[in-house]
Structures are given as C-alpha cells and as structure tokens.
A and B are shown apart, each in its own frame.
Chain A
Amino acid sequence: MERPILPAPHQILKDMNKSILQRKVTSKRSLVYHGWVTISSTLVGFGIGALLGIVLAVGIVYIPTLNRSVMPWIIASQTIPILAIAPMIIVGLGSIGLTGLFPKSIISAYLCFFPVTIGMVKGLRSPDPIHMDLMKTYCASDSHTFFKLRWPSSTPFLFASLKVSIAISLVGAIVGELPAGAQAGLGARLLTGSYYGQTIQIWSALICASILAAILVFLMIAIEKIVLKKMGGRLV
C-alpha cells in the first residue's frame, strides 16, 4: 500500500533510509536537516530554561518574599497548556519580526524552567541542618555556604531535573514548529505529512524525534556520571 494506515516497519525504514542517508544533508527533504533545525532550538531553549530555573530557585531559597509569593504561581504557570498556545505565541512573536529559532526556544524554555526550579529548590534545601551549623561555626559567609555546601549538594537534584527538562524541551520545539509559519523541523514534517496523508513520512519523523530524545537523555546521563564522579559524589 502506498499510504497505509499503519505502515510496516520496513516501509518506515525504507523512508528513513531514503530521507536520511540518500539525500544531501542540506537538502530540504533530508530528515537530518529537519532534525538539526529542531535540535538547535531545543538546545537554545533548554539553556535559557535551565538558567532561568536555577536563578529562580536561588531567589526562592534566599528571599522569603519570593518563596511565599512566587512559588504558587510557578505551579499554576504549568497548568496553562503552553503547548496548546504555542502556535499563537509563534504567530504573535512573528508579527513583531521575531522568527526562526528564537520563538520556538521560548516555548522550550517555558517548559524547561519548571522542573529545574522545583528540583533545585528541593536540592538547595537538602543540606542537613548539621552541615549548615558546621558552616556557621566556620563563620562562612552566605556565598561560601552557597558554593561550598548548597550548590554541591543540589547537583544530583539538578541533573534529575535536567533529564526531564531536555526531553520536554524537545517536545516544545516540535510543537513550536507545528504552525504553518515554520517551514523546517520535525514538527513541520509531522504537519505536512498529516495534511497530505503521508503516513510513512509522519512515522519516520516521529521515530527520528524519538531517537533524538533518547540521545539527548543519554547524553545528559553521561554528563551526570562524569560530573558526579569528578565531584566524588555517589551515583543515585
């Protein structure tokens, strides 16, 4: 069948072989090209989101006003279905001249920051009272306590959050590519495939996205292992 409802694995493999290996990387019909577009906005969004999440978490831990006023709204912010309004944000930002990578990364960043903030708040508060007291007896300043105690003890939490974040960052980037404005990226492939009934194209884009997600998460796990080893910590 040319357009099967559920393509057989060999059909998908044939299509992936055609669109990954047979075409030039720069070609608009190559999945490598589309994957690269998606990955780049995923990573930019992930960077922004993770940074924002860490800064917010530090603020929440050190400033009591922020703790009381912002924390409930951070949780509420995630009940807004950002993925559902992503097309609108893309169109809105497009109308003031922001197109391409940046609007998509904003959506990724919005999704990313939440797990990082939650995890880091927990992590920065995880040192035992005994250790905090020890720092106090050393007459350590706030910044010393932060860099020598709170930050190191929060790294396991940080990596646990980053693993979740990078996966949803990819989802954000893909959904950001869905509106008609985006011509490139795995999301755009999904949408064109759905418009023209090209089931095989949808499936190969989908599998490509899954492989990317797996690679990103495994990369994060590898970094986690290296960092924790360097810090002399125990693997969780």
Chain B
Amino acid sequence: MNGNWIIILISLIPIFTSMKMVFKKNFKKNIKNSLFLSISVIFGIYILLYGVHNIGSEKAGLGLWMYLFALCVMIWEMLSSWSEIDTSLNSKLNFIINLVVPILFGISLLFLWQVLTVGLKIPHILLPSPLKIGIAFSNSIPMLWEDFQQTFLKAVLSGYFMGCFSGFIIAIMVDRIPFLQKGLLPLGNLISALPIIGIAPIMVMWFGFDWQSKAAVVVIMTFFPMLVNTITGLSVTGQIEKDLLHSYAANYWQNLILLRIPVSLPFVFNALKINSTLALIGAIVAEFFGTPIVGMGFRISAEIGRLNVDIVWATILVAAVSGSMFYALITICERSLTSWHPSIREN
C-alpha cells in the first residue's frame, strides 16, 4: 500500500512540471530549466516503465497510453529546450550540449521501444525489448567475443587494410599514367555502383569457408571506393601550389609526398569512412554463403533459424557498436591529419 502512494506521488512530478511550463509565462530555455525538465522526464520514464512491467498479462490501458503521449510531448520540449540554449559565446557549452542532446534522444528512443514492446505485447520474435537484448548480450559475451574475433578482427580488418592499401597504391599508379586515368575512372565509378556483394558466393567457392574468403569479399568491396576517391583527391591540387613546388624544382616524388597526397587526404578519408561500414557488411553477408560454426554472419543466420531472436539482436548490437567505433576512430584520425580542411576548421 505504501509503495503505491510513492508511485502516485512520483507520477505527479512530471504533471506538476508541465503545469509550471504551461502557466508560467516565458518559461526560459536555460540550463537550469532544462535540467529541471530532464529530471522530471526521468521520473516520468521510471513511472511508465514500472507501470508497463506490472500490468500482468493484459495489454496496457488507455490511461497509460495517454500518460505516454504526454511524456513524449515533454521529451520533445526537453530536447528543444536543451538545443535552444544560446551557446554562441561558449564553445565548451556547445560541445557538451551537442553531446547531451543526442544521448537524451537515444535514451528516449530506447525507452519508447521498451514501453511499446512490453505495453503492446509485441511478440518477442518480431521485436524483443531492449532489456531482453541486454540480458542476452550479457549472458553470451564469450560466444559473441569469439564471433567478433572471427568476423571483425580476422576477416574485416585484414580485408579492409589490403583493399584500402591496394586501392591507394593503384590510384597513385593510375595517376601517373594519363590514359589509365581517362579509361579507368568511369569504369571504377561504375563498378563501385555495382552490387559487388553478389560475388560473395564466388569468393566462398574460391577461397574456402574460413575467414580468407570473407576477407577477399571485403578487399573487392573496399578497393573501388578507395581507388575512385584517391584519384579524385590527387587531381584537386591547386595550380598555385603546383607552380610553387615547380619553382622549388621539386621532382615527382617530392611533389607527390609533400603536396598531392596531403591535399588528397580528405578524399582518402571519405573513402576510408565509406569502406568502414561496407567492410563489415561484406564480411557478414559473405558468411551467409558458408562458414565454419563461428562468426557474426553465421550467428545471425543460425540463431534466427532457432528463433533465438535475442542473440541475433545482441549480435547486431556488437556489429553496430564495433562499426561505430571503427568509424569514430577514422574520424579522429581524420581530424588530426586534415585539420587544415575548411569542413573541420569550421567547428
């Protein structure tokens, strides 16, 4: 009985806050009010999660959905109040807010996902709730780690480095030979638009079931974006800079290393970023066509057959997190290596 009273009291907190927002004229969007809003939203989230998990077997009633709707409006208000804080004079604050708003948005999405899947009794096979995915994840960390090693550390990384490196080297060679440049660039553009993923079964046939065939798919998928981007990057050198190096009597290699490769770096990093997601996709899809009994692609196709959807989603989580980390790592390298570029200088 006592517990219920506490629950009701907590559920009144967001209502009180929204009253205050509605009736108090010019509710200012500053940090204090945003924090205040966020805290009451957190209470609301807690109440809804508590409610939705304690209604037993029937679907949630109308009252819960109305509360959820009101809470969504409040979440939106909270996000807009955070993002409308004036940060033009304070770059540190700007950085923090650019971090806080997306995180709050992500948490709200997770919360909505949880409430909707539990409240609507969505079949677990269709879409498990985030909580269940988290539990499955923490229960099967050793298995997921082995899959990660097989797919990411062996197939993706080796294929990625081979593909990007050879694309880069070939691009420099192509750049030296003008007729190759004229002939190969449109072809490369065309091939990078083709569904290269289709070669996966062929590669599995050629290189066997283990990670080598997946690495081969990754090499081919990453090669062409790298080639095309590097060739474009090598051709953007400005005439003034070229003239300057010419007046220094620089030879081809000095020209290449001191001027043209640094200038092409933004394009190279663009390709590296595109490739980071392509590589993961290529390796996982290639595993659908035959693999030893380990690997993320194998895990997905095997566990979906056994209707263990939690494990599948946990694997997706691993893939998404490792993909994001990979992407972030490249972005950090890009920021330090191409700090002179306008798109980075702006921030």
Contact = CB atoms under 8 A, between A and B. Distances in A.
Interface residues of B, number: 53
A111 B242 CA distance: 40
Contact of B323 (A79, A167, A186): A79
Q: How large is the interface on A (under 10, 10 to 19, 20 to 34, 35 or more residues)?
A: 35 or more
A85 B316 contact: yes
Nearest to B301: A87
A193 B201 contact: yes
Nearest to A38: B195
Interface in B321-335: 323-324, 326-327
Contacts of B104: 69
Contact of B194 (A67, A76, A92, A213): A213
Interface string B36-60: 0000000000000000000000000
A61 interface: no
B83 A67 contact: yes
A72 interface: yes
A190 interface: yes
Interface in B302-333: 304, 309, 312, 316, 319-320, 323-324, 326-327
A225 B327 CA distance: 34
B190 interface: yes
Contacts of B195: 170-171, 174, 206, 209-210, 213
B228 interface: no
Interface string B109-147: 100000000000001011100000000000000000000
Contacts, number: 140
B105 A175 contact: no
B300 interface: yes
Contact of A174 (B80, B127, B198, B326): B198
A92 B125 contact: yes
A78 interface: yes
Interface string A194-211: 100101001101100110
Main secondary structure of the interface of A (DSSP, over half): helix
A174 B197 contact: yes
A130 interface: no
A73 B202 contact: no
Given A79-B277, A84-B284, A202 B323 contact: no
Interface of A: 5, 64-65, 67-73, 75-76, 78-85, 87-88, 91-92, 95-96, 163-164, 167, 170-171, 174-175, 178, 186, 190-191, 193-194, 197, 199, 202-203, 205-206, 209-210, 213-214, 217
24 contacts: A65-B79, A65-B83, A68-B82, A68-B83, A69-B102, A73-B102, A73-B106, A79-B276, A79-B323, A81-B277, A82-B281, A83-B281, A85-B312, A87-B301, A88-B309, A178-B285, A178-B288, A186-B198, A202-B201, A209-B195, A210-B194, A213-B193, A214-B193, A217-B190
Which 10 A-B pairs rank lowest in CB-CB distance, beginning with the nearest? A194-B201, A79-B323, A84-B284, A69-B105, A167-B193, A68-B83, A65-B80, A72-B102, A68-B101, A80-B320
Given A83-B284, A95-B125, 12 more contacts: A65-B83, A65-B84, A68-B102, A71-B102, A81-B277, A83-B197, A83-B281, A84-B319, A190-B198, A194-B205, A209-B195, A210-B194
